[in-house]
Amino acid sequence: MPRIAESRPAAEPSSAEQKERHRRILRAASRLGAEHGLEQVQMHDVAKAAGVAIATLYRYFPSKTHLFASVMNYQVERFSLTGSLPEGASPAQAVESLLVQMTHEMARRPKLSLAMIQANNQAQMAAAPAAAINDAVFQKVVADTAGLADESEENERRVRLIVHCWYGVLVSVLNGRMGMDEAEGDIRMAAGLLFADR
């Protein structure tokens, strides 16, 4: 199991050059994670693939757990910018479409997806900020997709429940316990139950 590094905060890139270096690291980790999974990826290999010094990698990502939790955030943000949703869809249909598309996308690279999930779970157990950011970002993507401008407790609970349901479905798909047709059916039912009256 990858270790959680000491609690020092990760550096945030500020200049254009630093931001590009940061993106290169995330892209390199994504490629290596898709090929090898979390346990087999070495930080030195990520630094080499990204063309950065190992000290630079550790400045932005104190551990492999931090790195892959950040990769998850990077992937979710990328998807939220590029995913296409049906025009004129109801909130339930829009959420269903988003989650089905994300399931297909994550199932294309199961080793990377499991690496991100494992790292995010470990970051949550350690109360690392990256995990809280991932939860908030993903929940905002779902709320925006459903058109929930009202941040009521009920709407927050609906979003949280659909995310938890989807997460369980996704893990079952990635572990080979559920086929894609069954996964899509479960996502469709959950979205309908939680968002049909929105």
In a domain, 9, yes or no: no
- Domain annotation covers residue 120: yes
Please write the tens of the pLDDT for every residue from 94-126.
999 999 999 999 999 999 999 999 998 888 887
Question: Largest Cα–Cα distance of the chain, in whole Å?
Answer: 53
Task: Please give the chain's pLDDT, 198 residues, in tens.
Answer: 545 445 567 788 888 999 999 999 999 999 999 999 999 999 999 999 999 999 999 999 999 999 999 999 888 877 765 556 667 889 999 999 999 999 999 999 999 999 999 998 888 887 766 666 778 888 888 998 888 878 899 999 999 999 999 999 999 999 999 999 999 999 999 999 999 876
Q: Using CA atoms, how far apart are residues 12 and 119, in angstroms rounded to an integer?
A: 19
Q: Does 71 reside within a domain?
A: yes
Q: CB within 8 A of 58, min separation 6: which ones?
A: 5, 43
Q: How many domains does the chain have?
A: 1
CATH code, domain with 120: 1.10.357.10
Question: Does residue 4 form part of some domain?
Answer: no
Q: Would residue 5 count as lying in a domain?
A: no
Q: Which ranges of 126-152 does DSSP label H, i.e. alpha helix?
A: 129-146
In a domain? residue 8: no
Identify which of 90, 59, 92 has the alpha carbon closest to the alpha carbon of residue 158. Answer: 92
Q: Is 164 a member of any domain? A: yes
Q: Which of 192, 190, 147, 145 is nearest to 166 (CA)?
A: 190
Is residue 1 one of the residues assigned to a domain?
no
Q: How far apart are the two ends of the chain, measured CA to CA in Å?
A: 42
Nearest one of 4, 61, 1, 5 to 28, comparing CA atoms:
61
Domain that holds residue 152: 16-195
